[in-house]
Structure 1
Amino acid sequence: MAKEHSNEQIFQRHVKDHWYVKYDEANFPLIQKGWVLPIERWRDFDPFILMAEDWFKRGAFADHPHRGFQTITYVIDGRLEHIDNGGGRDILEPGDMQYMNAGWSARHAEEAVDPGIAHTLQLWLNLPKDLKNTETKYQNVYAEDAPTVSFEGGSVRVFSGDIAGVTGPLASVVPITMAEISLEKGTSYTHQLPENHNAFFYVLSGDIDFGEDIVNLKKHGVGTLTYQENGDEDNQSEFVMTSNHRRSRVLVYSGVPIKEEIVPYGPFVMNTMDEIKQAYRDFHNGKFGPPAV
């Protein structure tokens, strides 16, 4: 049933597009990779750029630079060691998430912990051009520190944004929402998001019907949602999901589109190719600092 807001019905979202991730074997120490959000479609996902799902051993993502965007890395399985050249070092486990604002110059490593295999989702989140020179920042959000709201037949864990009456701990430079929803078989849940947020979801496990039009997706399924491009941040929208499996889990992300042209190239995301070339020059000239070891 629709709810009332400012004498108008709340916007009901539908699944706009959906697909299943295709995976490719990779050369060791990478093992397998799939593009959850393929980079060539970044305009459809704005403010998100890409999402990669990776299985890897130690050495796959050793010391490397970034500039001009943010990353949100969710650990599905295994253990992930973060090392940065500012002295940061930590190990994340399944259900944990790490945020990085590369800003002006990040240099870090993301490694599987020997002798294991790390299985992660890494989302790239754009920075508007006036924030691409911001200070580098890292933030870990451990699963137990993200507030969880339980309901009959399920729960929602909130990593970022205001959802289900709680606020997630992630403090990203560009505000987003990120939630992990767990559902038992037969359970329906209505997820609310600001109506002007572009949003997508990824099914981690199970079998779920999404939206009133009933788009069914199972594990490895991805969907984008309709939204109000000129909507109000203070107005909520909603979409319903129903689990057909005893143990379904889905991640949902949303953010306001930035609406700027970008050039994603290698480890950098800038607004022009000249800025990409400058980033490479700065890295080779040592402006990103010492290696992350």
Structure 2
Amino acid sequence: MKNDPKGIFQRSVKDQWYVKYEQAAFPFIQKGWILPVDRWVDFDPFILMAEDWFKKGAFADHPHRGFQTITYVVDGRLEHIDNGGGRDILEPGDVQYMNAGWAARHGEEGVDDDIAHTLQLWLNLPKELKKTETSYQNVYSEDAPVVEFEGGSVKVFSGDFGGVKGPLNSVVPITLSEISLENGATYTHCLPENQNAFLYVLSGDLDLGKENINLKKHGVATLTFNEDGKSNNSSEFLIKSNSRRSKVLVYSGTPIKEQIVPYGPFVMNTMEEIKEAFKDYQDGKFGPPAI
């Protein structure tokens, strides 16, 4: 959508769909693709986003290289273990950020007999940052600032909204917000105009943009953006709730515009680099197991 009379880029829904789910073999339970991996060019800098239900043993010790992850816990408890000595438990509404960088080795497990329900986003790294140091950051729900507005609120995990800054610090800057709205409430979400963006409806019933595109729970939408815009220019996107308890996650990031090869647990720029990553892992360069 073009700029409004004030010169602010007005976003609209570019594409939309509902997540389709498949049952999986234990300890996996169910899986769906919020962002399917074969469309990473459209989603740049985002690669894929998976929604998983699983129990302990599903995601034990495994490696990563060349990208970042952002994991949002919907329900249950998620235990994070990494081979750098990190260990913690995340609960519903918490977020974990990982920069896999050069050589991450970690595990993500359900706790005790819990069914962990998570959303995991894979976020690309530009070529020059694919071998940065591995790091992890937990953002607990209560530590993310909340901006109130009439009929709702915005919880800020990453980016700047309403004069507050989210605590998540990614290598490649992004925005991540959790927006909650009461029935009939409207909210105009502001994002840098040059950032690619998508949203996922966690609950409720929403009308999106000035075209009033309707999406309900499990709905996904990508948004228009100004590819030639500037990072310090804002854009606007209208959201209206049609139910008493609507909640939506909105993500945005600046496209990297590089060819990538997502293969197994690695995301590199060439197949030769993928082969190098597997060899480095087999040769023990990723360090000891995460246990």
Task: Name the counterpart of 1:286.
Answer: 284
Measured after TM superposition, the shift of residue 226 of structure 1 is 0.3
Q: Distance in 2 between matches of 1:68 and 1:79?
A: 27
Q: Distance in 2 between matches of 1:104 and 1:51?
A: 21
Match of residue 206, structure 2, among 205, 208, 219: 208
Task: Name the counterpart of 2:108.
Answer: 110
Deviations 1:226-275 (A, max 9, x none): 00001010000001010000000000000000000000000000000000
Measured after TM superposition, the shift of residue 3 of structure 1 is 9.8
Task: Name the counterpart of 2:136.
Answer: 138
**Equivalence map 1:204-283=2 (5 Å):** 204-283=202-281
Deviations 1:36-82 (A, max 9, x none): 00000000000000000000000000000000000000000000000
Q: Distance in 1 between matches of 2:68 and 2:201?
A: 22
CA contact (8 A) 1:77 1:94 kept: yes
Q: Aligned AA for 1:88?
A: G
Q: Distance in 2 between matches of 1:13 and 1:277?
A: 40
Task: Name the counterpart of 2:99.
Answer: 101
Task: Could you list the structure 1 runs, at least 4 aligned residues long, displaced by more than 4 angstroms after superposition.
Answer: none
Task: Name the counterpart of 1:16.
Answer: 14
1:60 aligns with 2:55: no
Q: Distance in 2 between matches of 1:235 and 1:152?
A: 25
Q: Aligned AA for 2:98?
A: M
Q: What secondary structure, in the 3-state scheme, does the structure 2 residue paired with 1:282 have?
A: helix
Q: Distance in 2 between matches of 1:166 and 1:45?
A: 26
Measured after TM superposition, the shift of residue 8 of structure 1 is 4.6
Q: What secondary structure, in the 3-state scheme, does the structure 1 residue paired with 2:275 have?
A: helix
Q: Distance in 1 between matches of 2:218 and 2:254?
A: 25
Unaligned runs of at least 5 residues, structure 1: none
Measured after TM superposition, the shift of residue 164 of structure 1 is 1.9
Q: What secondary structure, in the 3-state scheme, does the structure 1 residue paired with 2:60 have?
A: coil
Task: Name the counterpart of 1:91.
Answer: 89
TM-score by length of 1: 0.98
Q: What secondary structure, in the 3-state scheme, does the structure 2 residue paired with 1:62 have?
A: strand
CA contact (8 A) 1:164 1:192 kept: no
Q: Aligned AA for 1:251?
A: L
Deviations 1:14-52 (A, max 9, x none): 000000000000010000000000000000000000000
CA RMSD in angstroms, aligned pairs only: 1.2
Match of residue 191, structure 1, among 181, 189, 192: 189
Q: Aligned AA for 1:90?
A: D
Unaligned runs of at least 5 residues, structure 2: none
CA contact (8 A) 1:79 1:118 kept: yes
Q: Distance in 1 between matches of 2:93 and 2:239?
A: 21
Q: What secondary structure, in the 3-state scheme, does the structure 2 residue paired with 1:290 have?
A: coil
